[in-house]
Amino acid sequence: MRTYCLEVTGDFACFTRPEMKVERVSYDVMTPSSARAVFESILWKPAIRWHVEKIEVLKPIRWVSIRRNEVGAVVSVRNAQEAMNKGSGNLALNIEDERQQRAGLFLRDVAYRLHAHFELLPNAGENNTMGKFLDMFERRAEKGQCINQPYLGCREFACDFRLVDAKQPQPAPLAESRDLGWMLYDMDYANAADPQPRFFRAQLDGGVLNVPAWSSEEVRG
Amino acid sequence: MILQALNEYYQRKSRMPDSGLAPPGFEHKAIPYLVILTANGEFAGIAPTHEGEGKKKIAKSFLVPQGVKRSSGVASNLLWDNPGYVFGIDAKGKPERAREQHLAFVDALRSRLASCDDAGIRAVLAFLERGDFEKVYADPQWPEILEAGANLTFRLEGDPMPVCEREVVLDTLSATNGQNADGQSLCLVSGEADVTERLHPSVKGVWGAQSSGASIVSFNLDAFSSYGKSQGDNAPVGKRAVFAYTTALNHLLAKGSKQRLQVGDASTVFWCATPGHRMEELFPGFFGEPDKDNPDQGTSAISTLLNAPRTGAGSFEDDGTHFYVLGLAPNAARIAVRFWHVKTVAELAINIKRYLDDIDITSDGVHQRLPLDGYLAAISPESKDRTKPNVVYWKGKYYDVRPNLGGDVMRSVIEALPYPQTLLAGAIRRIRAEQEVTYPRAAIIKACINRYSGKEELKVSLDENNTNTAYRLGRLFAVLERVQEEANPGIRATIRNTYWGAASGTPGKVFPLLIDLSNKHLAKIRREKPGRATNLEKLIGGIMSALKPEMPYPINLPLIEQGSFDVGYYHQKEHPSTYKSQGE
């Protein structure tokens, strides 16, 4: 089980709190699910699952409040199905009619070091060995290859990433410790039709957020 | 973090006596009219509950069962509501709906309080069942009530408090507020298992939001729901935590609350983790508008903080107590969080003290440090439209402050960050527009420049050892102005009115001319008071000694240097040596 370390930096980030997701307020620190998404954007196959171990905060936590125009409606599934059956239809969503202004309290100038490993799932085929995926990930991460641009919480906040050798001395994380309250760990897709959120008690210790294992009892939901 | 902090505040405050926070299932509501009933349910009159005089009549608040959240359906409150629900009287041309409303009202009463054996409840039920409300409509106050849709509740004749505050009723209601144990999930605020609340109660009191209240946690449109969840399931918060945080927030935002202030368009509330901490009282003195009853609030708060280390009073030692500042901005039926600051009281005291040191500037004892609004007003033009959210009222006039400036300055003070660029630029711009360097403007410029450079570049009063060219030029300008005034006593338009902008922006063009003019003025002064003329010349010479010989007057000054120019001018003007040489 090899642990990889990625350093991600970005201008903005929004790890949206579930309770304030309309007028967005970000968590103070990156969530494990966002960290997982960064790794998955570099390499993901149905045979593997990423587990985040540690998130280190490298820059001071700074906020910015931005107000943006967004949309309040969702394209109706019924309309789409009708259009599919008939061969033609109107699926337009006019921004002028559905405009919603939403303010957001985002993080800015963020940099994190993420540590994660992946596990090979039991239903992986015979050709899929651990070594194969390890090689693939290392190759892609070094070159900067990714399936989609990694992002920090929301897709519009794209980030840069860099594979880092954790054994070499690295700049120290922020010298700050605080209690971050209950943080969203990830969504549990055991029942794919009704995903359930899982939470854990997050503590920032000298700039390091230690993420418990998914199956541990610290992760509640 | 935000909801969690509010939840903890509620838990701590509700345990303190006289907290004014409603227990679970209740709220404090202003009910303007009470319907008085006799013991067997006969109508005995309507009593208004207004207190205060004239235009400021405010209805009295009572402890009532918590209101239900309703938008378009029929949902009745228990024991109190508007005339449509209480009497079924229809004011909007929809008699069917009014009838439904009345039925709902009576049903709610019967189902929740059927078991309650109380004289008050019996009277209310008898009155409602009789259904004869003619005497009510005949009351002279009725038209007012109907038009305003004012809330009503009942009171038994001879009781001091309304029926809903009678002891037996309170006990019954608290008991029936029990939980049903089905469908519990994790509450993301408290981390305990609890029933998820579907619709969070409204938060009232945010400036600019709907009058019926708005929600921080709301998912009122399709686009806001995720993973197929609807309403409260999008963010599972338990009922207990929801009640706690909304009650705490409503309490902090209530009219007359001492823990709120307005920063631009953001309604700001602040509280300490230990309720009743000294800092809660002092905080509005630094940032808020001066209380009309207590105009010295600002200055007394400032002096308390500054004297705290000396007198030992104030308990600002580092005991880790947290202080929270939350800024809420309205967006129709929702509330956006504009800013959120968490600092320990000790850190906050240190940072505010830093800010106070930054803005300290000499003033010949006339001026004192002002609350934030005073500085913002000093660098803003007068306002033409008083209703805009960013208008600040200061000493009888209204000023148009840039929208985010108040919040940004507050953030710089609390978090010890550099002041916003717009603050410095605003001060310099206003000085150029009015050709006057006033006490607050000079204070702001000194604060901004000192924080940018990280050291005390500009001191509190005149610094004769400061060799910065722009500073010296500012001083020189002040002396030249003084020379002109002494040569032409009673003059009204000095070189400041004509040459200020050019002198501070492009000194190279203007100063040779000004020096030339001053020579002529000095010649005039020398005819009457040769000693004074010599002293002024020495003063000018001393200032100019630090100017570079190859380029004494720079072609132009960048913005920060113009700030130094302004402060130099101010320091020299405030210094007695400009007006009276030593020995005179």
Separation of alpha carbons B262 and B403, rounded Å: 12
Q: Which residue of B has its CA nearest to A76?
A: B222
Verify whether the Cβ–Cβ distance B331 to A18 is below 8 Å. Answer: no
Taking the CB of residue B229, how many other CB atoms lie within 10 A of it? 17
Q: Which two tokens stand for residue B200?
A: 């969070």
The per-residue pLDDT for B312 is 42
Distance in angstroms between the alpha carbons of the first and the last residue of chain A:
27
The one-character DSSP state at B27 is: E
Verify whether the Cβ–Cβ distance A70 to B223 is below 8 Å. Answer: yes
Q: Which residue of A has its CA nearest to B194?
A: A221
Q: Per-residue pLDDT for chain B (584 aa), expressed as one digit of tens each?
A: 899 999 999 988 888 777 778 888 888 888 888 888 888 888 888 888 887 777 777 788 888 888 887 777 888 888 888 888 888 887 777 888 888 888 888 888 888 777 777 888 888 888 888 877 888 888 888 888 888 888 888 888 888 888 888 877 877 777 666 555 566 788 888 888 888 888 888 888 888 888 788 888 888 888 888 888 888 888 889 888 999 999 999 999 988 888 888 877 788 899 998 888 888 888 887 776 656 566 566 667 766 776 665 444 445 666 778 899 999 988 878 898 988 999 888 888 888 888 888 888 888 777 777 878 888 889 999 888 877 777 777 888 888 888 778 888 888 888 888 999 999 999 999 999 999 999 999 999 999 999 988 888 888 889 889 889 999 999 999 999 999 999 998 888 889 999 999 999 999 999 999 999 999 999 999 998 889 999 999 999 999 998 888 888 999 999 999 999 999 999 999 888 888 766 54
Burial B234-243 (b: 16+ CB within 10 A, else e): bbbbbbbbbb
Question: Which of A23, A100, A195 has the CB atom closest to B337's CB atom?
Answer: A23
Within 13 Å of residue B443, how many CA atoms lie on the same side as its CB? Answer: 23
The per-residue pLDDT for B515 is 94
Report CA torsion sign: B445, B514, B364, B581. Answer: positive
Query: Given CB atoms, is A175 within the 8 Å cutoff of chain B?
Result: no
The per-residue pLDDT for B579 is 83
Separation of alpha carbons B562 and B460, rounded Å: 18
Chain A residues in contact with B216 (beta carbon < 8 A): 19-20, 23
Query: Given CB atoms, is B335 within the 8 Å cutoff of chain A?
Result: yes
Query: Is B394 within 8 Å of B373 (Cβ atoms)?
Result: yes
Give the CA distances from residue B107 to residues B34, B37, B119, B230, in Å, rounded to whole numbers and listed in that order: 21, 20, 19, 28
Question: Which of A18, A22, A180 has the CB atom closest to B188's CB atom?
Answer: A18
Chain A residues in contact with B407 (beta carbon < 8 A): 65
Verify whether the Cβ–Cβ distance B224 to A21 is below 8 Å. Answer: yes
Phi, psi (deg, nearest 5) at residue A193? -80, -20
**Residue at token pair 């905060």:** A57
What H or E segment, with its residue span, contains residue A160? strand A160-164
Give the CA distances from residue B423 to residues B302, B407, B519, B520, in Å, rounded to whole numbers and listed in that order: 21, 12, 37, 39
What H or E segment, with its residue span, contains residue B329? strand B322-331
**Residue at token pair 């990930």:** A137
What H or E segment, with its residue span, contains residue B173? helix B167-175
Query: Given CB atoms, is B191 within the 8 Å cutoff of chain A?
Result: yes
Mean of pLDDT values over A94-116: 92
Taking the CB of residue B18, how many other CB atoms lie within 10 A of it? 5
- 3-class secondary structure, B417: coil
Taking the CB of residue B437, how many other CB atoms lie within 10 A of it? 27
Separation of alpha carbons A97 and A1, rounded Å: 52
Chain B residues in contact with A98 (beta carbon < 8 A): 223
**DSSP3 helix / strand / coil % (chain A, rounded to 5):** 20, 40, 40
- 3-class secondary structure, A2: coil
Separation of alpha carbons B335 and B314, rounded Å: 34
Q: Which two tokens stand for residue A171?
A: 């700049």
Taking the CB of residue B316, how many other CB atoms lie within 10 A of it? 24
Query: Is A213 within 8 Å of A51 (Cβ atoms)?
Result: yes
- Scanning chain A, the segments in alpha helix (DSSP H) are 32-42, 77-86, 95-98, 130-143
Separation of alpha carbons B225 and B222, rounded Å: 6
Taking the CB of residue B122, how many other CB atoms lie within 10 A of it? 17
Sheet holding B266-272, edge to edge: B260-263, B266-272, B322-331, B334-344
- 3-class secondary structure, B63: strand
**What is the ipTM, given to two decimal places?**
0.87
Query: Given CB atoms, is B555 within the 8 Å cutoff of chain A?
Result: no
Query: Within its chain, how far is the Cα of A124 from the centroid?
Result: 24
- 3-class secondary structure, B318: coil
Chain A residues in contact with B189 (beta carbon < 8 A): 19, 181-182
Query: Is 0.90 topped by the overall pTM?
Result: no
Chain A residues in contact with B186 (beta carbon < 8 A): 199, 220-221
Taking the CB of residue B82, how many other CB atoms lie within 10 A of it? 19
What residues 83-112 of chain A have any CB closer than 8 A to a CB of chain B? 98, 100-105
Separation of alpha carbons B151 and A30, rounded Å: 47
Cβ-based contacts under 8 A for chains A and B = 98
Question: Which of B188, B228, B329 has the CB atom closest to A182's CB atom?
Answer: B188
Separation of alpha carbons A112 and B405, rounded Å: 30
Q: Which two tokens stand for residue B198?
A: 């579907």
Query: Is A25 within 8 Å of A66 (Cβ atoms)?
Result: no
Question: Which of B4, B185, B235 has the CB atom closest to A21's CB atom?
Answer: B235
Question: Which of B188, B331, B337 has the CB atom closest to A199's CB atom?
Answer: B188
pLDDT digits (tens, 9 = 90+) for A18-34: 989 889 999 999 999 99
The per-residue pLDDT for B428 is 94
Q: For chain B, how many residues are written?
A: 584
Separation of alpha carbons B299 and B12, rounded Å: 31
What residues 93-152 of chain B have any CB closer than 8 A to a CB of chain A? none
Q: For chain A, how big is the Rg over CA atoms in Å? A: 20
Chain B residues in contact with A105 (beta carbon < 8 A): 336-340
Q: Which two tokens stand for residue A115?
A: 């540590």
Taking the CB of residue A101, how many other CB atoms lie within 10 A of it? 14
The C-alpha angle B549, B555, B558, rounded to 5 degrees, equals 115
The per-residue pLDDT for A185 is 93
Give the CA distances from residue B235 to residues A70, A100, A187, B219, B584, in Å, rounded to whole numbers and listed in that order: 21, 20, 12, 9, 77
Query: Is B401 within 8 Å of B392 (Cβ atoms)?
Result: yes
Question: Which of B217, B236, B338 has the CB atom closest to A20's CB atom?
Answer: B217
Give residue A122's pLDDT band: very low, low, confident or very high (50, 70, 90). confident
Separation of alpha carbons A129 and A132, rounded Å: 5
Question: Which are the contacts of B315, defined by CB distance < 8 A and separation ≥ 6?
Answer: B277, B278
Chain B residues in contact with A72 (beta carbon < 8 A): 221-224
Separation of alpha carbons B217 and B209, rounded Å: 14
Separation of alpha carbons B327 and B261, rounded Å: 9
The one-character DSSP state at B214 is: B
Query: Given CB atoms, is A46 within the 8 Å cutoff of chain B?
Result: no
Question: Which of A28, A103, A187 has the CB atom closest to B329's CB atom?
Answer: A103
- Which residue, A28, A13, A33, is CA-closest to A116? A33
Chain A residues in contact with B227 (beta carbon < 8 A): 187, 194-195
Verify whether the Cβ–Cβ distance A19 to B217 is below 8 Å. Answer: yes
pLDDT of residue A181 exceeding 50:
yes
- Give how far A171 is from chain B: nearest CA, Å: 23
For strands A196-205 and A208-210, give the pairing: antiparallel
Taking the CB of residue B126, how many other CB atoms lie within 10 A of it? 15
Separation of alpha carbons B584 and B573, rounded Å: 18
Verify whether the Cβ–Cβ distance B234 to A18 is below 8 Å. Answer: yes
Separation of alpha carbons A36 and A4, rounded Å: 12
Beta strands in B365-441 (DSSP E): 391-394, 397-400
- Which residue, B95, B336, B342, B72, is CA-closest to B212? B72
When mean pLDDT is compared across A63-67, A142-146, B91-95, B301-305, the lowest value belongs to: B301-305
The C-alpha angle B69, B202, A199, rounded to 5 degrees, equals 105
Verify whether the Cβ–Cβ distance A18 to B216 is below 8 Å. Answer: no
Q: Which residue of B has its CA nearest to A72?
A: B223
Question: Which are the contacts of B261, defined by CB distance < 8 A and separation ≥ 6?
Answer: B268, B270, B284, B287, B288, B289
Verify whether the Cβ–Cβ distance A184 to B234 is below 8 Å. Answer: no
Mean of pLDDT values over A105-128: 90
Question: Which of A19, A98, A180 has the CB atom closest to B237's CB atom?
Answer: A19
